[in-house]
Amino acid sequence: MRLTFHAWNRTFTMKHTFPLVFLLLVTACSEPTNSISQTPPSNAITTDSLSLVEKHYLELSSDSTESVSKGTVSNGSLEHGQLFPFFGTNYHYFDTNSYLANRCFVHSLVKSSVLDAYGKLEKTAPDRLFGIMECSNKHGGKISPHRTHQNGLSIDFMTPLLKNGKPYTDLDFAGAQHYLMNFDANGRYEEDPTVSIDFELMAQHLLTLIESAKTNGLTIEKVIWKMELRDELFATTSGKKLQQTGIYITTNLTPLINSLHDDHYHVDFKVK
Ligand SMILES: [Zn+2]
């Protein structure tokens, strides 16, 4: 799946089946408490969106200095943050406006780790598409409505899906409202129970990410994931291996934070 910006533009147009509306995004990645009241960028895709994104990336991706994360994910900042690419061979960022609002910056080692993992997944999970959701601001700091994501070490990863057991990506192009999707305690999409979470691929992604983080000087400190879906994740072939790594997947979330982490899983990295 080699895609150019032109091809992506076409894919975006074809697959974007949701109305383009401003939504009150009620999401945050923190535990155990959180206050949420902000409106995030919407996904107002225009015909010029991708060329804007391309220019944006070219303008802001020249800093190759290694990043410095200061403070913590919930009270920190980022120096020499690096902009994650809007898309690559097997991944894409979820929302044009969020991207143009500079909410896709990460620590340079996080960028290397995540890209390295996607490179490996091209071989181990060919023809699958992965999604990245919000990261950090260019200089870190508060990024409403998230309470964390403050020092370039947090990323929200889009949960991979199946429809009738087959890979399904139409919902990956919902933009900001992706955060509002709900899944039941078995991982079925509440609006369409033929759509379900691909727990095996999610576990594969996390296993690969652990490996790539390690070779890039990082560890995964925490994964925030809906508690009711933890068993389903660990029940898969790769999930069993994932559980054996001892990865910390949250077990004590408030009802609100718990309910929000099904369409995506939040990962906090740590510099070794
Ligand atoms: Zn998050």
Mean pLDDT of 101-111: 97
Between CA 76 and CA 84, with CA 79 as vertex, the angle to 5 degrees is 100
Mean pLDDT of 50-58: 88
Q: What is the pLDDT of residue 32?
A: 34
Mean pLDDT of 3-25: 35
Q: What is the pLDDT of residue 50?
A: 73
Task: For residue 146, report the distance from its CA to the centre of ligand 1, in Å.
Answer: 7
Question: b/e for 101-135, b at 16 or more Cβ within 10 A?
Answer: bbbbbbbbbbbbbbebbbebbeeebeebbbbbbbb
Task: For residue 108, report the distance from its CA to the centre of ligand 1, in Å.
Answer: 18
Contact 84, 106 (CB under 8 A): yes
How many angstroms separate the CA atoms of 76 and 69, rounded?
7
Contact 222, 214 (CB under 8 A): no
Question: b/e for 172-186, b at 16 or more Cβ within 10 A?
Answer: bbbbbbbbebebeee
DSSP notation for 25-49: ------SS--------------TTH
Task: For residue 150, report the distance from its CA to the centre of ligand 1, in Å.
Answer: 10
How many angstroms separate the CA atoms of 203 and 198, rounded?
9
Task: For residue 223, report the distance from its CA to the centre of ligand 1, in Å.
Answer: 9
Q: How confident is the model at residue 64 (pLDDT cuts 50, 70, 90)?
A: confident
Task: For residue 239, report the distance from its CA to the centre of ligand 1, in Å.
Answer: 21
Please state which architecture CATH assigns to domain 5-19+44-271.
2-Layer Sandwich (3.30)
Please, where are the H alpha helices in the chain? Answer: 5-15, 49-60, 96-100, 108-124, 199-215, 230-235, 237-244, 255-260
Task: For residue 261, report the distance from its CA to the centre of ligand 1, in Å.
Answer: 8
Task: For residue 264, report the distance from its CA to the centre of ligand 1, in Å.
Answer: 8
Q: Residue 18 pLDDT more than 90? A: no
Contact 137, 82 (CB under 8 A): no
Q: What is the pLDDT of residues 187-210, one digit of tens each?
A: 999 999 999 999 999 999 999 999
Task: For residue 136, report the distance from its CA to the centre of ligand 1, in Å.
Answer: 9
Task: For residue 240, report the distance from its CA to the centre of ligand 1, in Å.
Answer: 24
Task: For residue 30, report the distance from its CA to the centre of ligand 1, in Å.
Answer: 7
Tell me the backbone φ, ψ of residue 43, rounded to 5 degrees.
-105, 55
Q: Residue 76 pLDDT more than 80? A: yes
Mean pLDDT of the chain: 86
Task: For residue 56, report the distance from its CA to the centre of ligand 1, in Å.
Answer: 23
Domain locations in the chain as residue ranges: 5-19+44-271
Provide the token pair at 121. 């997944």
Q: How confident is the model at residue 19 (pLDDT cuts 50, 70, 90)?
A: very low
Task: For residue 169, report the distance from its CA to the centre of ligand 1, in Å.
Answer: 21
Q: What is the pLDDT of residues 28-38, one digit of tens each?
A: 444 333 322 33
Residue type for position 115 = L
Task: For residue 148, report the distance from its CA to the centre of ligand 1, in Å.
Answer: 7
Fill in the DSSP letter of residue 66: P
Task: For residue 172, report the distance from its CA to the centre of ligand 1, in Å.
Answer: 17
Task: For residue 81, report the distance from its CA to the centre of ligand 1, in Å.
Answer: 17
Q: Residue 182 pLDDT more than 60? A: yes
Provide the token pair at 211. 């490996």
